[in-house]
Structure 1
Amino acid sequence: MKRSKKRIIKTIVFEILLIISSLLIFAPILLAIIMSIQPPEFVFSYPPKFLPRGFFVQNYIDAFKIVPFARMILNSALISIFITLGKLFTGSLSGYAYANFSFKGSKITFYVLFATLFIPAEIVLIVPLFRIISRLGWTNTYWAMTIPFLASATNTFLMQQHFKTIPKEFEDAARIDGATPMQYFTKVLLPLSRPIIAGAAIINFTYAWNMYLWPMIVAMEDRMKTVQVAINMIMNAESSNNWGIIMAATVVALLPTLILFFALQDLFVKSLVGSGVKG
């Protein structure tokens, strides 16, 4: 009985700590939502007020008027979707090759690929990459913001480690049934890898959606800028003192990643749990 009581107390304390941690993490988002639906006098009131009074939709309307926000959201959506699909495609194929095939130089190339994870790409590669993009005439195009990011060592490493956890008996059974390597990959491995693919999709989409430095450099026209650049433009606009408008733009920018996370939440949790279990 004493042990069961101790377990109950530990569980209650743990749950309380999780609730407090969740509230602390969600507090900035909640504050942004509250500020986005309130007039300027509410935002700058002293002492600060945390409970909203009504719904001031003008902040959202102004956010879309100050800059071509709708077009920038579309830009970010297209770029993020293409980058995510590209990384999943190249990462799953390369991970499958390194996990299931033994070829000359496989270990050396994999170690070299893994070593690139320690290179700060945005600092080291941004100048030569911009020179290449300029010579190709890709500035102010979707090509410049998608092509350089369609593959990554992170996805290759993640998928390779996951494919290694799948028993070899599955591959042997597929071969006995006459399946080719690609048939085994598409009909066996990929269906079994849905949780890890969903987790990778969330990570890759969030990374692409939040890109700021590279789109700001290669997109010189407003019609090609992304949503993160748009928020900075709104902050620098004449109405930058109105934090309600800035928070309205921020909330809109947060929605796609939140929707994707909640849509794939179950698979994402399974990927985290499964990544720690081998065999």
Structure 2
Amino acid sequence: MIENRPILNIVSHVVLIFGVLIVALPIWITFVAATHDPVRMTQAPIPMLPGGYFWENFKQTLFGGGLSGTETAPVWRMLLNSLFMALMISFGKIAISLLSAFAIVYFKFPFRMGFFWLIFITLMLPVEVRILPTFEVVADLGMLNSYWGLSIPLIASATATFMFRQVFLTIPDEMLESARIDGAGPMRFFWDILIPLSRTNIAALFVILFIYGWNQYLWPLLITTETDMTTIVMSIKQMLEAAEQSPQWNIIMMTALLAMIPPVFVVVAMQRLFVQGLTETDK
């Protein structure tokens, strides 16, 4: 039985609305700043209502030269670089983690669990810890200023391997026996049974990994020396530094607004599968 407590409901909604306002206020200020001219954004107080320069700032930022005084690639190119990097990291991590979890769970070979724990221990070695040897390897392989150099060192994922291993362990052994009786080989069992049953978990992991790849800053900063390979997160930082000499906050905020669109689109488009993938505990 659910008790009706009007006062508690009112307090809960007030707290929820207050939290939403706190989270949404910086986004609103970013949007408002992207709709004004540069002169208005240098005057106090900061405007809280949209202006009439949205499309002008949009075209100047996305298809123009971006912020004057900075040596960066066009914003559309930086968005494309970040998109390629995020997609390569997401698909690469999911593919490698699925195959490694499949091998650990369904194949019996010497030191099987030892290899799993070696993979799991790498959680204690993030990119920041091993960044110098990783950079040297990438440089020796000639992958500087390339999408491969941006993505391959970030593809291996112990977290995703552990997650898919736990998912595969919940699948009844009867399914494996049935597949064997029907004459299905290991890869047929993998594609026709394991992948469909892991669909929601793959979607949830894809959302997390896409945002992880999109928000990368330190690794692209080290691996890229050409402006054509600059990512959008790097460019925002460079624009903020250049704003001290050329305070074009309308361009900076429009760039930040454009940088938010792909992650938001991925989360909204895959929201249902994302929630199911995080909440499902059995098959």
TM-score (norm 2): 0.88
**Quick one: distance in 2 between partners of 1:203 and 1:160?**
18
**Quick one: distance in 1 between partners of 2:54 and 2:23?**
25
Q: Which residue is 2:28 aligned to?
A: 30
Q: Please state if 1:187 is matched with 2:192.
A: yes
Q: What letter is aligned with 1:96?
A: F
Does the CA-based 8 Å contact 1:99-1:164 persist in structure 2? yes
Name whichever of 179-188 and 234-243 sits farther off: 234-243
Q: Which residue is 1:59 aligned to?
A: 57
**Quick one: distance in 1 between partners of 2:257 and 2:150?**
23
Q: Deviations over 1:233-255 (max 9, x none)?
A: 32233664222211110111111
Report the identity percentage. 37
Does the CA-based 8 Å contact 1:240-1:246 persist in structure 2? no
Name whichever of 150-159 and 237-246 sits farther off: 237-246
Q: Which residue is 2:118 aligned to?
A: 112
Name whichever of 32-41 and 15-24 sits farther off: 15-24
Q: Which residue is 2:44 aligned to?
A: 46
Structure 2 counterpart of 1:251, from 257, 263, 269: 257
**Quick one: distance in 1 between partners of 2:198 and 2:4?**
40
Structure 2 counterpart of 1:18, from 16, 19, 43: 16
**Quick one: distance in 2 between partners of 1:53 and 1:150?**
42
Structure 2 counterpart of 1:155, from 154, 160, 168: 160
Q: Please state if 1:166 is matched with 2:171.
A: yes
C-alpha deviation, 1:31, in angstroms: 1.9
Structure 2 counterpart of 1:235, from 217, 237, 240: 240
Q: Secondary structure at the match of 2:233?
A: helix
Q: Which residue is 2:270 aligned to?
A: 264
Name whichever of 94-103 and 208-217 sits farther off: 94-103
Q: Which residue is 2:103 aligned to?
A: 97
Change (3 A) 1:105 1:143: same
Does the CA-based 8 Å contact 1:231-1:250 persist in structure 2? yes
Structure with bigger helix share is 1
**Quick one: distance in 2 between partners of 1:61 and 1:20?**
34
Q: Secondary structure at the match of 1:46?
A: coil
**Quick one: distance in 1 between partners of 2:96 and 2:9?**
43
C-alpha deviation, 1:105, in angstroms: 1.0
Q: Which residue is 1:197 aligned to?
A: 202
Does the CA-based 8 Å contact 2:33-2:47 persist in structure 1? no
Give the gaps of 5 or more residues in structure 1.
Answer: none
**Quick one: distance in 2 between partners of 1:36 and 1:87?**
35
Name whichever of 162-171 and 213-222 sits farther off: 162-171
Change (3 A) 1:202 1:134: same
Change (3 A) 1:179 1:23: farther
C-alpha deviation, 1:120, in angstroms: 3.2
Matched length: 274
TM-score (norm 1): 0.89
Does the CA-based 8 Å contact 2:127-2:154 persist in structure 1? no
C-alpha deviation, 1:119, in angstroms: 2.0
Q: Which residue is 1:216 aligned to?
A: 221
Q: Deviations over 1:181-204 (max 9, x none)?
A: 211111111111111101111111
Does the CA-based 8 Å contact 1:210-1:228 persist in structure 2? yes
Name whichever of 140-149 and 243-252 sits farther off: 140-149
Q: Which residue is 2:69 aligned to?
A: none
Does the CA-based 8 Å contact 1:99-1:161 persist in structure 2? no
Q: Which residue is 1:85 aligned to?
A: 91
Give the gaps of 5 or more residues in structure 2.
Answer: 67-71
**Quick one: distance in 1 between partners of 2:27 and 2:57?**
16
Q: Secondary structure at the match of 2:46?
A: coil
Q: What letter is aligned with 2:50?
A: P
Name whichever of 197-206 and 76-85 sits farther off: 76-85
Q: Secondary structure at the match of 1:186?
A: helix
Q: Please state if 1:178 is matched with 2:183.
A: yes
How well do the aligned residues superpose, as a CA RMSD in angstroms? 2.2
Q: Deviations over 1:89-144 (max 9, x none)?
A: 0011111222333322121221221111122321x211111111222222122221
